[in-house]
Amino acid sequence: MSNIAVTQSNMPASYQDLMKLLEPETNLTGGAFASTRRLSIRGGVFRKVVNGKEVAELESRTLEVVVVKAAPISRMYYEGTYSAGESNPPVCWSANTQTQKPAGEVPEDGRQSASCMDCPQNIKGSGQGDSRACRFQQRIAILLADENGKVVSNEPYLLSLPATSIFGDDQKKMSMQAYARHLNAHKTPLASVITELRFDTNSSTPKLFFKPVRPLSEDELQIAVSVQQDKDTIDLVEIKVSTKRDSDGTTNRPALPPLFASESSDDADEEPKVRANKKKTDKPETQDLASLLDEFDDE
C-alpha cells in the first residue's frame, strides 16, 4: 500500500467540500430494537442477516467496508447461558459506558448495581472462565464494498463488535478503538476511507482487526456523507430495549433479536479507562492519508 500517493488534501474542491460534511466520530476515538440489515461474525464467519434471517454466508476471511456511524461503547448483562438460535433479552444494560451506571430504562428488578464499577457482574470470573458476565459491545453502521472493492450501495449494515474487537493496543492487528485513534492522529475521518475487516485466526472466538485500504472516491464519499446524515443510520446503532410490566407488577421483557446475543465468550483483559470527551470540531482538518497508508505494508 506504500505506492498509494494520493492525499485527500490534493483532491478537487468538490471533494474537500464533502469531507467537511463528515462528522468526527467521537464515539470511536475515546439501536434500533431490531435491525433490517446486519452483519454477524458468529462462528468466525461474516454472515448477512436481513429481517432477522441469515441470507448469505461470506467465504472470505476479510471484508472491505466504510464505517459511517458508531454508537458509544455499551454493556449488556444476560441471565443464564446463551444458546445459539435463541433470542434472550438483556436483564441489565448501559447504553454508554462513560455514564458508569445502568440505563434509565432498566427496571428496578433487573438492575444489578447502582454503579457499573461496583457491579458484581463486572468482576472477572462472574462470566464464563475469567470473563465478566456483563459484556462490552459497540454497534457500528457500515457500508459494504462490492466484489470490485467499490462502494455503490447506500444501504448500511449494523455490526455489533464484541469486547475483543473493541479494545487492544496491537498496532499491527488494530482493534476498533486503536484504529480510530490511528486515523484521528492523521486527522482522517473514519468514514472517508475503505477499511478492511479481518478475522484474527489466532483467536479462539470471533475477533476482528482493522486496517485502512484507500481513500474514498468522490462518488463513494457522496454516498458516505448521505448515509451518515440519514436519521435511519442513527437509529440503526442506537440501543432501544423495550420492557413491559405484567398485571402482577413483574417485568415482562420481550425476546430480543439475535443481535443482542453474545458472539464471543471472551472479554477484554482490562476494562477501558474512562476518558473525558474532547470538544467536537465542526470541520476536520486537512488530511494526509498517504502517510497513514504508508505505515501499513502489504502482507
Q: Is the pLDDT of residue 257 over 60?
A: no
pLDDT (0 to 100) of residue 87: 62
pLDDT (0 to 100) of residue 76: 92
If one counts every other C-beta atom within 10 angstroms of the C-beta of residue 207, the result is 24
pLDDT (0 to 100) of residue 62: 96
Of 169 and 265, which is predicted with more confidence? 169
What confidence tens digit (pLDDT) does each residue in 152-162 have?
999 999 999 99
What phi, psi does 222 have (nearest 5°)?
Answer: -60, -40
| Torsion over CA: 117, 123, 124, 127 (sign) | negative
d(CA 242, CA 31): 11
Q: What is the mean pLDDT of residues 192-209?
A: 95
pLDDT (0 to 100) of residue 299: 45
Q: Sorting pLDDT into bands at 50, 70 and 90, what band is 294? A: low
Q: Is the pLDDT of residue 1 over 60?
A: no
Of 109 and 24, which is predicted with more confidence? 109
Q: Sorting pLDDT into bands at 50, 70 and 90, what band is 190? A: very high
56-92 burial code (b ≥16 CB/10 A, e <16): eeeeeeebbbbbbbbbbbbbbbbeeebeeeeebbbbb
Instruction: Please tell me which of 12-21, 121-130, 132-141, 264-273 the model is most confident about, judged by mean pLDDT.
Output: 132-141
pLDDT averaged over every residue in the chain: 80
- Using DSSP bridges, classify how beta strands 37-40 and 157-162 pair: parallel, antiparallel or unpaired: parallel
d(CA 193, CA 199): 19
Task: Specify the residue for cell string 440489515.
Answer: 37
pLDDT (0 to 100) of residue 290: 56
pTM: 0.76
Q: Is the pLDDT of residue 264 over 80?
A: no
pLDDT (0 to 100) of residue 4: 36
d(CA 166, CA 72): 11
Q: What is the mean pLDDT of residues 17-42?
A: 70
Task: Specify the residue for cell string 486515523.
Answer: 183
End-to-end Cα, the chain, rounded Å: 10
120-137 burial code (b ≥16 CB/10 A, e <16): ebbeeebbeeebbbbbbb
**DSSP secondary structure letters along 138-192:** EEEEEEE--TTS-------EEEEEEHHHH----SSSB-HHHHHHHHHHTT--GGG
d(CA 208, CA 165): 5
Q: What is the mean pLDDT of residues 180-207?
A: 94
